[in-house]
Amino acid sequence: MAGHPCRIFEPAQANPHGFVVVYLHCSEGASLRGYPAFVHEFERHGLRVIEPVTGKSWWTDRLWPEFDPVISAEAYVVQRVVPFVDAHLNARPPQLALLGVSMGGQGALRIAYKYPNLFPTVAAISPAIDFQKRIDEGVDPGLEQMYRDAEDARQDSALLHIHPLNWPRNQFFCCDPTDLRWHESVDRLRMKLWSVGVPFDCDLETQGGGHSFDYASRMAERAIGFVADRLERERLRVV
């Protein structure tokens, strides 16, 4: 799609209402097909999934030449993936949801906060919200190309894109309390949303292996079940 690979998952029996999940992968680029628990839940709920592949883009609105020299990963989702889903999968807001893990989790939240009417439903597993840490640690050359410094990146984090009057109506996030790298920032997100009165669902207590494949798999039923339930609620919502 527009010069970049996208993976598409079609369940054996799709939900009759045409729901589509846009899945944002982690920094390792692992396909959701590598998560059998995810595939099982998508099959169970009849959810079609489209998975753009952007490498270690962090799903930002900054150009990262290793992905594309003229369009950011965020813009690719909004300007290329969403129209493709409309034209080829016959789905449009509010039939769309965002789901992501780790790098993709923070990207899903940030994009939903910036475009809540486009993505009124979002779920994030182990979202790496304080991704500016990776600049401080000097472990992510891509981020260092996209941002002047760690503070510049922090100003673009999901926390700084929450609008108290314009937010996704349905959001769920979770993080293992033993995930020492990211749990603090996810808890800070919980506190900020609560303080400004934005509704959300979260689980910051369940343990399952820290920041790991095992934890993401353990939370698949909860996160994808939330997405399926809220997509249905959006369908029935009276505007």
Beta bridge partners of 22: 50, 98
User: CA end-to-end span of the chain, whole Å?
Assistant: 33
CA nearest to 26, candidates 140, 159, 127:
127
Tokens at residue 185, please? 């920032």
Enumerate domains of the chain plus CATH numbers.
6-236 (3.40.50.1820)
Span 222-232, average pLDDT:
98
Q: Is residue 45 within 8 Å of residue 224, measured between CB atoms? A: yes
Whether 239 shows a pLDDT value over 70: the answer reads: no
The per-residue pLDDT for 93 is 95
pTM across the whole model: 0.96
